[in-house]
Structures are given as C-alpha cells and as structure tokens.
Amino acid sequence: MQSSFVYRCIKWSLFLFSLIMFSCISQDSVTRYKSNEVRDLADILADGKLVAVTDYNSASYYIYKGEPMGYQFDMLRDFASFLGVKLELIAENDIQASIEMLESREVDLIANNLTITAERLEELNFTLPHGETRQVVVQRNGQELGVRGQKFVHNSQELAGKVVYVQRGSASAKVVKDISEKNGDGIVLVELPGYDAFQLIDMVAQGKVDYVVCDEVEARVKVATCSNLSCEVAVSGLQPTAWAVRPTSPELLKRVNLWLENYLSTSKYARIHSKYYGNPLQARRMSNDFFYVYHGKVSQWDEYFKHHSEKIGWDWRLLASMVYQESHFDHNAVSPRGAVGLMQFMPTTADYFGIALNEMPIRQIEAGVGYLKWIEDRLDSFNIPKNEEVKFVLAAYNAGIGHVLDARNLARKYGRNPNIWDDNVEYFISNKAQFAGDPVVKYGSLKGKETTRYVEEIMERYQHYQNIVVK
C-alpha cells in the first residue's frame, strides 16, 4: 500500500479535481434524470436497503467454503452497517452494464475498483478514492513466447501490431486506444463484454491469447497463482480508484465520503486490504476446490443437495445455504444442545423420522429434506405464497412448527398478514416471549430473535449463492 501521506494527497487532490470537473459538466448529464427518477440517501434510509453492484472475481466478491467474502463485499457490508440498512448486492462483471444499472436506478452504488477518468466524470460522481492502480500488460513470461510466435514485450511501443484484449468499458481500453493513436502503431484492440480481468488473465495463462491489459492491482492477485505469467510492464501512470454514484445522489455521495474519510484510516480497513491484496493466503484460497467464483464447489455435498432439493422444489443453493447455517457442512458436527450432523437433528426428531444420529452424510441430507417436506405439507393448507412459504418452513425447522402456527395466529389477531413473513409473522416470532400468555398461543414462549436471525441469514447467504454459484 502507498504511504498514508501520499495516499491522503492523492485522495484529496482527486476529490477536489472531481468537484471541479463536475462543476464544468454539461447540465445534460444531470437533467437527463427525470425528477421522479431521483433516488438519494433519504430513499435508501426509508427503504432500509442499500442496493449495490460489484464485480465477482478472485478479490472483490466470491464464495469460499460456503461463505461470501471479498474486498468490495467486506467494505460494502461495513458501509451498510454504518447506514443502518440491509445490503442487497448484485454481481456484474461488465463495467458498462453496471453503469447502466446505476443510471436506471436498479442500484444505488457501483462498488468496484473503478479508475477515475475524465470520461467517467462526465456521467458518474466518484467517492473519495480507496486505492490506486496502473494499467499493465499481462503476458506469458520470457520463457514462454506465445503459441502464435508472439514475443515478450518490454514497453508499450512493442505492442505495435499486436492483438490486445481488455475488459469492455474499462480504463485499460482507453489507455490502449491512446497508445495506439499516439504512436500510430495499429494495436488490434479486442474489448470482451462480460469478461473481467481475472478471466482474461486465465486466457493468457492457458495460451488462448497473448496479451491482456488490465489493472495492476487485480493482475498481481491473479499472477501470484500462475508461475508462467508476468505483469511487470506498465503502460500508464498511477490512477486512483473509487466507488461511484449518480450525479442526482449528492446526499449519498456526502455520506459515503464521510464514512470513507474515517474508515480508510482504521486498522479494520488495513486488515481488509491486506487480507485480499498481497497476501500469500489469498493465493492458497484461490487454489482450493471450495473457492467459488466461476467454477468450483460450495461444499463436498453439492451433488446430494442438487438431487434431494428436487423433492421439495427448492433451488439446491437454498438447501446448501440452510445446511451451512446448521453445520458449516460438517457431517460430524454436534451442537451444545445435542443436535447432530449436517442437518443438526435433535435425538427426538431423529427417532421420529427413524434415523440414527450417526447416519452417513447422504442419509442425513435425505432425512433432513424429508423433515422439510413434512413441515411444508402441514403448511400447504394455508395457501401461503411459495416465495413466502420457504421462510415459514425454515423457521419451523429451527423452532418447531407449533411456534410458527402461534405466530400466524398472533398476526391474524393483531391485524397483520399471517401469510407474509417479513414485518408480519416475523414480528411475532421475534417477540413471541411477550405474547406467551395470549389465548391464541398454544406452544409456549420462544427466544424468537434467534429464529428470525436464522431465517434472515440463510436467505441472505442464498442471495450471494444466486449471485455467483451456477444453478
């Protein structure tokens, strides 16, 4: 990382530069947003939800051993916590598509290592920079000169006549275009939509292409795992990187900058940065079978989840998220209360369903799905919408179906919808201890906040699995 003094100088100079640039931008970039399309901080706080888009790759956002991780993910989670709202994350590796999502109000924030450029300042408002990078050539090292007779290049001039691949809409594309125009050397530029820098670098390592230009920060993460690659040739100077918001979200921009001004100087941020960049452990994570970005496994039980989830009509990724919540995929797990295995069966439940507590993992999953089906069958008569019913089933798996039926009765009695979970039945599960003496309560008290947190965490993790894990 750069020294704190240099970083502060870059940060503030770029921030001032962005303000100056924005003041000079044509009003067209602001007035193209109709008044009824404006969404700013007040709307986010009222919704209780921040919607952000980030790229999924080996540093920003990925799944490792069942849990979402990544530099951008960790920062976004901390920022959402600072705002006091939930985080809803969309994964997108096409930069231009992310910008279009921002402009159409599908998202509130682009959380990438976006290079601040004059062109981007015409349509985006950048936050304070959280890093810096430069554009580099990724190529096979001097001992591998390319399958098509290509040579190792030592500077930007030697790219003349070469085919160079970049991510569509990236700062790299602009840099290569500028080099080609300046030198008149006819670089053949190929901008690939839907590919991120890490995928392009993989193509170099596999010999499918010879030259890729991308951000050095990302290149070094990937090259650390590929002994046949080099990223030592820089083709630009240092450039600051930041998040971005719409020009019509000035209050959100102020709040992000207020947070960043403090956050970037904390030890917590320093740990996050070092966790993903320049850390040998990251290279080891990336080589693990359970490091999931574009391929890999969520767990060793994925095939069983795929097979048995069909019996209850669930997405297998939802079942996987639930099993992670129960046991972290450990088939030998034993809880302090005596629950056992992947699905954390209590002895009484195991007896009811006729299984032994030391069953093989495949049988544990089969029995657990059987229990979920049993719960689902008993809820079907209430005609709960399917997208809602899954939350009721999860709550019943955690706390018992009786507590869920009590909460439905309380919701009906006190004017809420007994077939909707969020802010309706969820409220009465969470606060059931306060209603233990109510005549409609048949199954006693409950520490309901544990159950609502259980459902929330499973559904949140499921969203991350949907973002990244192939169905």
Higher pLDDT, 28 or 302: 302
- What does pLDDT average to over the chain? 89
Q: What pLDDT, on a 0 to 100 scale, did the predictor assign at position 226?
A: 86
Is residue 326 annotated as a catalytic residue, yes or no? yes
Q: Among residues 115, 92, 99, 109, which one has the least CA distance to residue 39? A: 109
Higher pLDDT, 449 or 225: 449
Q: Decide if 135-237 and 302-468 have a common fold.
A: no
Q: What pLDDT, on a 0 to 100 scale, did the predictor assign at position 148?
A: 55
CA distance 25 to 29: 7
Q: What pLDDT, on a 0 to 100 scale, did the predictor assign at position 101?
A: 96
- Given a cut of 90, whether residue 183 has pLDDT beyond it is no
Taking only the tens place, the pLDDT of each residue in 412-444 is 999 999 999 999 999 999 999 999 999 999 999
**For the structural domain made of 135-237, what CATH number should be given?**
3.40.190.10
Q: What pLDDT, on a 0 to 100 scale, did the predictor assign at position 247?
A: 96
CA distance 187 to 161: 5
Q: Tell me which of 92, 216, 218, 326 is the catalytic residue.
A: 326
In the CATH hierarchy, which fold is given to the domain comprising 302-468? Answer: Lysozyme (1.10.530)
Q: What pLDDT, on a 0 to 100 scale, did the predictor assign at position 21?
A: 42
Tell me the CA distances in angstroms from 360 to 227, 278, 381, one per residue in order: 40, 41, 33
What architecture is the 4-132+241-286 domain classified under in CATH?
3-Layer(aba) Sandwich (3.40)
Taking only the tens place, the pLDDT of each residue in 54-106 is 999 889 999 999 999 999 999 999 999 999 999 999 999 989 999 999 999 99
Taking only the tens place, the pLDDT of each residue in 98-150 is 999 999 999 999 999 999 988 899 999 999 999 999 999 999 986 455 455 56
Higher pLDDT, 372 or 15: 372
Domain segments of the chain: what residues? 4-132+241-286, 135-237, 302-468
- Given a cut of 70, whether residue 11 has pLDDT beyond it is no
Taking only the tens place, the pLDDT of each residue in 246-278 is 999 999 999 999 999 999 999 999 999 999 987
pTM of the model: 0.85
Give the 3-state secondary structure of the chain.
Answer: CCCHHHHHHHHHHHHHHHHHHHHHCCCHHHHCCCHHHCCCHHHHHHHCEEEEEECCECCCEEEECCEEECHHHHHHHHHHHHHCCEEEEEECCCHHHHHHHHHCCCCCEEEEEEECCHHHHCCCEECCCCEEECEEEEEECCCCCCCCCCCCCCCHHHHCCCEEEEECCCHHHHHHHHHHHHHCCCCEEEEECCCCHHHHHHHHHCCCCCEEEEEHHHHHHHHCCCCCEEEEEECCCCEEEEEEECCCCHHHHHHHHHHHHHHCCCHHHHHHHHHHCCCHHHHHHHCCCCEECCCCCCCCCHHHHHHHHHHHCCCHHHHHHHHHHHHCCCCCCECCCCCECCCCECHHHHHHCCCCCCCCHHHHHHHHHHHHHHHHHHHHHHCCCHHHHHHHHHHHHHHCHHHHHHHHHHHHHCCCCCCCHHHHHHHHHHCHHHHCCCCCCCCCCCCHHHHHHHHHHHHHHHHHHHHHCCC
The rounded percent of the chain whose pLDDT value lies above 70 is: 90
293-297 mean pLDDT: 85
